[in-house]
Structure 1
């Protein structure tokens, strides 16, 4: 929690600093591939021994997002909503939804190209929608880092490619219908490679 509060304060101060500069508004869409690492409780390891199938449920899975924020020549801040859902076989299915606030600093490498790197913090919702199990969901915190390259392709349009790594504490119960609770799962981390398009106005 201390790390989360520190990151939130730093992000807030950065936002106020950026807001004091001349900034352009922007909105965009992202599409990428996400992999979510899942930890099982000791009880679940006993009731579902062997390979961690939950770990393979959201693995290189298609992820879409929408974002909006402000940008200057030196930095940007923005809010992103992301959604990813996938299954393993015909029994296990998970969905993760993220609401993220991010701040990036820019490093120009040309007239129209900039590298970026920054930090993110927000909320994530994990939903267990597995067949044969009771549905359960949980909302937790997430913190992470991102980096990539931003390319201006017109007066109002930019493209980007990035990579994001997030840590979270969201988790759900695993309750088999007719049996009851057989354990629980927790999100350890998630990683995502993505492409994005932004419209500046």
Structure 2
């Protein structure tokens, strides 16, 4: 994973330099989609919680995102903030916040339609807010890839649809208020399918 992270960092830096060499416009955007997480449990948590599947806590969970960045005819780079939370079985609850920097390269299809693909780096904060457990949180790295389609409606407004896959190492402990530490849960990966609208100026 360290090699992948270094490769993404170098590639993103070079891509930013490429975009900077062309005339840029500023854009802001709003996204909405659904996130699903792959949560890995420690051996002690599996033993103490039995067959409880924490993947179901954040599963097809509604996700709003805010973004801002620079765009030109070749690509774009932008920062995104997302905040989402969900619960499972009326007991287990997780909150996730993402702060990400991304670069997309464009592939024109028509004058107004472009495919895009790119890389993302950033940080993820994972918070455990389950009933009967002490609150706990952790911040880990995030590295991933995204792809989709961008449709220009007017010179200033565009719509897009995309998919993003993130790997992370953020983790949190589950400590019962009565029985002590039960184990830990690690956010292995996140998947997001989304729609977005952008305003360019």
The corresponding residue for 1:165 is 165
1:7 and 1:192 map into 2 onto residues whose CA distance is: 19
- The equivalent of 1:125 in structure 2 is 125
The CA distance in 2 between the partners of 1:156 and 1:103, in whole Å, is 20
| SS in structure 1 at match of 2:126 | strand
Aligned to 1:110, the other structure's residue is in SS state coil
SS in structure 2 opposite 1:6?
A: helix
Taking the aligned partners of 2:24 and 2:66, their CA distance within structure 1 comes to 20
Using the TM superposition, name which of 139-148 and 2-11 deviates more. Answer: 2-11
Q: Which runs of 5+ in 2 are unaligned?
A: none
Matching of residues 30-179 of structure 1 within 5 Å: 30-52=31-53, 54-179=54-179
Give TM-score, length-normalised by structure 2.
0.97
Cα offset, 1:8, TM superposition = 1.5
Q: How far apart are residue 180 of structure 1 and its match? A: 0.8
Pair 1:185-2:185 in alignment = yes
What CA deviation, in whole Å up to 9, does each residue of 1:178-198 have, x standing for no partner?
111010000011101000000
Rounded Cα–Cα distance in structure 2 between residues aligned with 1:82 and 1:137: 16
Q: 2: CA distance between counterparts of 1:107 and 1:13?
A: 18
SS of the residue 1:90 aligns to: coil
Paired residues, number: 200
CA distance in 2, matches of 1:2, 1:98: 22
In structure 1, C-alpha distance between the alignment counterparts of 2:101 and 2:13, rounded to whole Å: 10
Q: In the TM superposition, what is the alpha-carbon distance from 1:83 to its structure 2 partner?
A: 1.2
Could you tell me which runs of 5 or more consecutive residues in structure 1 were left unpaired when the two chains were aligned.
none
CA offsets, 1:103-162, max 9 Å, x none? 111111111000000111110000001111000000001111100000000111000000
Quote how far apart the aligned CAs of 1:2 are: 3.3
Secondary structure of 2:81's counterpart equals strand
Structure 2 residue aligned with 1:196: 196
Q: Distance between the aligned counterparts of 1:144 and 1:97, measured in 2?
A: 15
Whole-Å Cα distance in 2 between the matches of residues 111 and 188 of structure 1?
39
